[in-house]
Amino acid sequence: MAKSIDVSDVNIYYGDFKAVEGVNMTIRARAVTAFIGPSGCGKSTFLRTLNRMHEVIPGARVEGKIAVSGQDLYDSAVDPVEVRRMVGMVFQRPNPFPTMSIYDNVLAGNRLNSRKLKRPDADDIVERSLRGANLWNEVKDRLNKPGMGLSGGQQQRLCIARAIAVEPQILLMDEPCSALDPISTAAIEDLIHDLKDRYTIVIVTHNMQQAARVSDDTGFFNLKAAGQPGHLVEFNPTKKMFTNPDNESTEAYISGRFG
């Protein structure tokens, strides 16, 4: 069951440093939302507040309200661990567990939480997740080999398989394709299309074509000046964003005339 996310007046801090300021948006369920913007404008930072991963950094905190299907994620009664089970995440750098085999990496979400699985069920989850991440054919003969033995792109797809293996309702992806070749990238984009039916997907990307291809809505983040907090400049349907944006700087960024 996919869920929508309502973000209102969110400020994000690293200690005293305000990294992102005044974000308001509604991320639709069963849709793909893309975040674009120059490096350092706070896309990763904002993404990480959506599953309460931001607060694992010492001194980091969030102001404002982020509600998933009406439930405030930052309510004091909400357990961040539960939030992260519901909102999966794929990171910018692939990070498979070095002590685990490919098979165990895919099942990590279950295994680390000591959820008992019957062998056929486990096999089924592994195959389904690896197929979903377009990795199955490459690794099906060496599932018991270490996950670190894969190439960078394969590792990233392993991490995607690991994230979808626990069937989250929302999937956050931070530049998931930055380490991938065009074929794997196309496969991930197809995967995103497939997953859209069941999940709410939020993706950060530096690739305008990718944002245009996969997303339904797009948010453009920007910095006013170096050292200033990043902010959301424009949030609109992707079609409108790429043909007739409301904001001049959006158009400049998308068309590559940025400066």
Partner 1 sequence: MSTADLFETTTGSLRRRRAMTDRLVTGVIWAAFAATLVPLVWLLWVVVSKGLPSIDGNLLTHDMVQRLDPTTGKLQAGGGLEHALYGTLLVTLGAVAISVPIGLFTSIYLVEYGGRSRVARTITFLVDVMTGIPSIVAGLFGLALFTLIFGVGTRMGIMGSIALSLLMIPTVVRSAEEMMRLVPNDLREASYALGVPKWRTIVKVVIPTALGGIVTGVMLAISRVIGETAPLLVAVGAAEAVNRNLFDGRMMTLPVFIMTQYGTATPEGYDRAWAGALLLIAIVMVLNLTARLISLIFAPKTGR
Ligand X SMILES: Nc1ncnc2c1ncn2[C@@H]1O[C@H](COP(=O)(O)OP(=O)(O)OP(=O)(O)O)[C@@H](O)[C@H]1O
- Interface residues with ligand X (CB under 6 A) are 14, 17, 19, 37, 39-45, 57
Please report how close the Cβ of residue 23 comes to partner 1 at its closest, in angstroms. 21
CA distance linking residue 167 with residue 69, whole number of Å = 17
Does residue 96 sit in helix, strand or coil? coil
Q: With contact defined as beta carbons under 8 Å apart, do 217 and 203 qualify?
A: no
Instruction: Kindly determine how many residues on this chain lie close enough to bind Mg ion according to the rule CB under 5 A.
Output: 1
The per-residue DSSP string of 24-52 comes to EEEEPTTSEEEEE--TTSSHHHHHHHTTT
**250 is an interface residue for Mg ion by CB under 5 A:** no
**85 is an interface residue for partner 1 by CB under 8 A:** yes
136 binds, among Mg ion, ligand X, partner 1, none (CB under 5 to 8 A by kind): none
Q: Which is nearer to Mg ion, 3 or 48 (CB)?
A: 48
Could you say which of 33, 44, 51, 238 contacts Mg ion (CB under 5 A)? 44
Do the strands 170-174 and 17-27 form a parallel or antiparallel pair, or are they unpaired?
unpaired
Backbone φ, ψ for residue 62 (5° rounding):
-130, 135
Site for partner 1 in 152-181 (CB under 8 A): 159, 162-163, 166
Please report how close the Cβ of residue 113 comes to partner 1 at its closest, in angstroms. 6
Please report how close the Cβ of residue 12 comes to partner 1 at its closest, in angstroms. 17
**145 is an interface residue for partner 1 by CB under 8 A:** yes
Residue nearest to Mg ion (CB): 44
Site for partner 1 in 62-81 (CB under 8 A): 81
Could you say which of 29, 117, 148, 252 contacts partner 1 (CB under 8 A)? 148
Which of these, 164, 32, 186, 147, lies nearest to 89 by C-alpha position?
164
Please report how close the Cβ of residue 93 comes to Mg ion at its closest, in angstroms. 10
In angstroms, the Cα distances linking 227 to 38, 92, 197, 222, 223 are 13, 23, 39, 12, 8
Q: Where are the beta strands (DSSP E) in the chain?
A: 5-14, 17-27, 32-36, 60-68, 71-72, 87-90, 170-174, 200-204, 217-223, 230-237
**88 is an interface residue for partner 1 by CB under 8 A:** yes
**49 is an interface residue for Mg ion by CB under 5 A:** no
